[in-house]
Amino acid sequence: MSNLIQLWFYIFAAVVLITFIVSELTRNYSQVDKIWSLLPIVYSWVTVAAFPSHRLYIMAFLVTVWGLRLSYNFSRKGGYNIIPWKGEEDYRWRVMRDVPALKGRFRFGLFNLLFISLYQNVLILLFSTPLLLAAMNQGKQLSVIDLLAALSLFSFIYIESVADSQLYRYQMEKRRAEKGEIPYTESLSKGFMTSGLWRLVRHPNFAAEQAIWICFYFFGVAASGKWVNLTITGPLLLILLFIGSSQLTEGLSSKKYPEYSDYQKRVPKFIPRLFGFKKNR
């Protein structure tokens, strides 16, 4: 087991170093974004290779489906390029560069090292750690918890896929200004997405991503028999990351679109209302 943990650490350290150096040299700070959907796949299959079991094969398969789908979505938005360090940079990093406290090469470089390159890779490693817990308990038989976790996780992958596809189609229509095309005519008139799953929550893709890794945590629960264990750190920190990220994007949207504040009042952020849902007009 110690050899596997050591291998994880070597992969982690190499990725942190590479993403930091490449982002500083190219001034494209989306290098971690490029590997966000790929690194858990690597952690999964090196763990399967070291400690093969039915549970780990299921976990690795689901992570691979999640990662390839997310990579496809990132690719069609221009995130990848034939030259690996190029590609579209997430607009939020450009916004962060203009924050007074982060302005300047040294200060943003420090932010890049500690948050973008280091912390985000720590987070990827942490929400992947149920793999290690499953490896430690390799002999534990599959249970109903594994089944429920797998079905739930796959369902949230599907929901995230629908949300990303709806948002991508809306963005394409917005760029082409095809305001007569259904189903996003209302959203195009407002300037931001309010149709499809965005009628239920303001960030359905973010909500599904958080739910995916919460479900993944329960594989570790099934393997260890402990409902609360250290691997819960990953999904909890991921939730905090998405809370901060959504606050940043919503702050920008509120300044840009006059109707966004009303949308915030009517539609919940992550968890849909079971009762009293008001249809967007």
Residue 51 has pLDDT above 60, yes or no: yes
Residue 254, pLDDT above cutoff 70:
yes
How far is 190 from 201, CA to CA, in rounded Å? 16
The two most distant CA atoms of the chain are separated, in Å, by 60
Q: What is the mean pLDDT of residues 29-40?
A: 97
Domain regions of the chain by residue span: 2-266
Helices (H) and strands (E) in the chain, counts: 13, 0
Does the pLDDT value for residue 280 go beyond 60? no
Q: Per-residue pLDDT for 277 more than 90?
A: no
Say whether pLDDT at 96 is over 60.
Answer: yes
Taking only the tens place, the pLDDT of each residue in 186-221 is 888 888 999 999 999 999 999 999 999 999 999 999
Q: Say how far apart CA 135 and CA 127 lie, in whole Å.
A: 15
Average pLDDT in the 67-73 region?
A: 97
Q: Which residue has the tokens 């490693």?
A: 125
Q: What is the pLDDT of residues 1-13, one digit of tens each?
A: 999 999 999 999 9
- Answer for the pair 266, 190: CB distance below 8 angstroms, yes or no: no
pLDDT score for 279: 46
Entry pTM: 0.92
The predicted pLDDT at position 281 comes to 37
Q: Is the pLDDT of residue 46 over 70?
A: yes
- Please work out, in degrees rounded to the nearest 5, the angle formed at the alpha carbon of residue 220 by the alpha carbons of 217 and 224: 150
Looking at residue 149, its pLDDT comes to 98
Give the whole-angstrom CA distance, residue 10 versus residue 17.
11
Place of tokens 């291998």: 7
Could you tell me the end-to-end alpha-carbon distance of the chain, in angstroms, rounded to an integer?
Answer: 57
The model's confidence at residue 137, banded by pLDDT at 50, 70 and 90, is very high
pLDDT in tens, 142-201: 999 999 999 999 999 999 999 999 999 998 887 776 555 556 778 888 889 999 999 999
